[in-house]
Chains A and B, each alone.
Chain A
Amino acid sequence: MPLASSVVSMALATRADRRPSMTRTLWDSSVGKKTIMAVSGLIMLGYLAVHMLGNLKIFFGSDEFNHYAHWLRTLGEPFLHYEWALWIVRVVLVAAVVLHAVSAYQLSRRDLRARPTAYVHKKARSSYATRTMRYGGIILALFIVWHILDLTTGTVHTGGFQSGHPYQNVLDTFSTWYGNVIYIVAVLALGLHVQHGFWSAAQTLGVGSATRDRVLKTLANVLAVVLTAGFVSVPVAVMTGVVS
């Protein structure tokens, strides 16, 4: 038995022959799962940048905004059928959100298990953005659900949801105090999440380095501020009557 087990461990020492598939390795490894988080996070980030720019069209009146929403549905025609492009984007986004959230949950479980006992002597540690990735992520997940039920399906919408009239729907949402509170809290959470997340993704994907650190941190800050300001400008404009 000792001989047999030492033979097995010799074989394992160079286990190059029987490696699990690349996907399996990605999913099973903490480093691989972070890679999945980084890629899905960057996909969502890319979408959000486009989404934020699209939202700004609300400042140019209801015709332009509603027309833009309609164009999103005809995008890719005649090659693609009506709404196909939109559905492709939706499928990719749902995949990204699910992969991101499942990985976040599994990694967080692993992290909490790895450090079950807290120190008696407590210290305030790490930046606010770093410490709030988990809570911020949960806020974002809840917001995504509410946001879709509010402005896409209209299920929880107040003021009579009208399909095809997003301008009016947005005005309705930001005419309620809770609509503004939910939205602004979520966008602030997003800003913090992106500030640590963008820089983190660069480290996870191995593109960060000591010399590039300043550039990456600055870029993360700029992205976070621009996204937050762009998204927040809409409810603020409705509240102050700039958009009505």
Chain B
Amino acid sequence: MKLTLRVWRQQNAEAPGAMATYEVDGISQDMSFLEMLDTLNEELILSGDEPVAFDHDCREGICGACSLVINGDAHGPERTTTCQLHMRSFEDGDTIDVEPWRASAFPVVKDLVVDRSSFDRIIQAGGYISAPTGTAPDAHATPVPKPDADSAFEHAECIGCGACVAACPNGSAMLFTSAKVNHLNVLPQGAPERETRVLDMVATMDDEGFGGCTLTGECATACPKGIPLPSITAMNKEWLRANRKVRR
């Protein structure tokens, strides 16, 4: 495959940045999108240019490190992570636009790399449970109803990639935060911090400069892990409940 890439290049956080155009040839349909970028970078290095900086780690769709808005879609045209997106989703001769996540809470560090530590601070505000340390308890020591276990698993699938924020026209982190809140709040292990968790995580989300939810639904469409839009409704319910309970 021969492709034209238009890639966002930005020297550092302060530099202005702009789209740069590159031609790549000899791309196989079986390559992942990141391998295609590796090919571009090898050529750039050989010709003495600076390679395109982008985030990646596991390359198997489980760590949440990869990002990229491809032709206007977070993680590209398929519902998966960029590392699991393959070039067979594109046609020979295509022009592909590659941009970083855009949100003021995710400032660009360089090229396609953004700083997602605002997510870490949301987690620090309540994405944990109080548990005795020591040997692991028996798996059946605390019974969990099946629907609750299923719901916790569904939400635990969130890999913290930030595609929801990138896709949201308001740069809102509601889907991510709701995944984390619901994951722990449905479980008995999460019960001791049930109220403080949702109040503090939402407050931190606001403090970090994420936008509010207008229920546009772009987040759930972009999420590679299928965290559904009603998760936000469920978090709103938890938040309202906590706001009543916490002062009693």
Asked if A125 and B216 sit within 8 Å, CB to CB, the answer is yes
- Interface SS of A by simple majority: helix
Q: Which of A192-217 contact B (CB under 8 A)?
A: 196, 199-200, 202-210, 213
Instruction: Say if the beta carbon of A114 comes within 8 Å of chain B.
Output: yes
In the bound complex, residues from chain A placing their C-beta under 8 Å from that of B214 are 111, 130, 133, 200
Q: Which residue of A lies closest to B124 (CB)?
A: A13
In the bound complex, residues from chain B placing their C-beta under 8 Å from that of A210 are 228, 230
Which of A16, A33, A120, A206 is within 8 Å of B237, CB to CB? A206
Asked if A114 and B211 sit within 8 Å, CB to CB, the answer is yes
How far is A116 from B69 in the complex, measured between Cα atoms in Å? 16
Asked if A34 and B213 sit within 8 Å, CB to CB, the answer is yes
Known: A31-B202, A210-B228. A126 touches B169 (CB 8 A): yes
Asked if A107 and B169 sit within 8 Å, CB to CB, the answer is no
Closest Cβ of chain A to B245, distance in Å, is 11
**B-side interface size class:** 35 or more
Closest Cβ of chain B to A123, distance in Å, is 4
Known: A121-B71, A209-B233. A111 touches B202 (CB 8 A): no
How far is A204 from B235 in the complex, measured between Cα atoms in Å? 9
| In the complex, per-residue mask of B84-104: 1 if CB is within 8 Å of any chain A CB, else 0 | 000000000000010100111
How far is A24 from B164 in the complex, measured between Cα atoms in Å? 28
Known: A25-B199, A121-B71, A123-B73. A111 touches B171 (CB 8 A): yes
| In the complex, per-residue mask of B65-77: 1 if CB is within 8 Å of any chain A CB, else 0 | 0000101110000
Q: Which of A89-132 contact B (CB under 8 A)?
A: 107, 110-123, 125-126, 130
Asked if B104 and A30 sit within 8 Å, CB to CB, the answer is no
Closest Cβ of chain A to B86, distance in Å, is 20
Instruction: Say if the beta carbon of A153 comes within 8 Å of chain B.
Output: no
Q: Which residue of A lies closest to B234 (CB)?
A: A206
Instruction: Say if the beta carbon of B176 comes within 8 Å of chain A.
Output: no
Known: A22-B247, A111-B170, A120-B99. A206 touches B236 (CB 8 A): yes
Q: Which of B117-139 contact A (CB under 8 A)?
A: 124
Known: A125-B216, A130-B214, A133-B214. A115 touches B72 (CB 8 A): no
How far is A25 from B64 in the complex, measured between Cα atoms in Å? 32
Asked if A204 and B211 sit within 8 Å, CB to CB, the answer is no
Q: Which of B134-172 contact A (CB under 8 A)?
A: 168-172
Q: Which residue of A lies closest to B246 (CB)?
A: A19
In the bound complex, residues from chain A placing their C-beta under 8 Å from that of B216 are 125-126, 130
How far is A117 from B237 in the complex, measured between Cα atoms in Å? 31
- Interface SS of B by simple majority: mixed
In the bound complex, residues from chain B placing their C-beta under 8 Å from that of A202 are 233
How far is A34 from B196 in the complex, measured between Cα atoms in Å? 20
Asked if A205 and B215 sit within 8 Å, CB to CB, the answer is no
Instruction: Say if the beta carbon of B188 comes within 8 Å of chain A.
Output: no
Closest Cβ of chain A to B47, distance in Å, is 24
Asked if A113 and B104 sit within 8 Å, CB to CB, the answer is yes
How far is A126 from B6 in the complex, measured between Cα atoms in Å? 25
Q: Which of B228-248 contact A (CB under 8 A)?
A: 228-230, 232-241, 243-244, 246-247
How far is A111 from B8 in the complex, measured between Cα atoms in Å? 24
Asked if B215 and A130 sit within 8 Å, CB to CB, the answer is yes
How far is A16 from B248 in the complex, measured between Cα atoms in Å? 11
Binding site for A on B (CB under 8 A): 6, 8, 19, 69, 71-73, 97, 99, 102-105, 124, 168-172, 196, 199-200, 202-203, 205-206, 209-218, 228-230, 232-241, 243-244, 246-247
Beyond A29-B239, A207-B237, 11 extra complex contacts between A and B, CB < 8 Å: A31-B202, A111-B169, A111-B171, A111-B212, A115-B211, A118-B102, A120-B6, A125-B169, A125-B218, A206-B240, A209-B234
**3 closest residue pairs by CB, A with B:** A206-B237, A114-B211, A114-B171
14 A-B Cβ contacts within 8 A?
A30-B206, A32-B243, A111-B214, A114-B170, A114-B172, A115-B104, A120-B19, A121-B71, A133-B214, A203-B215, A206-B233, A206-B241, A209-B234, A213-B230
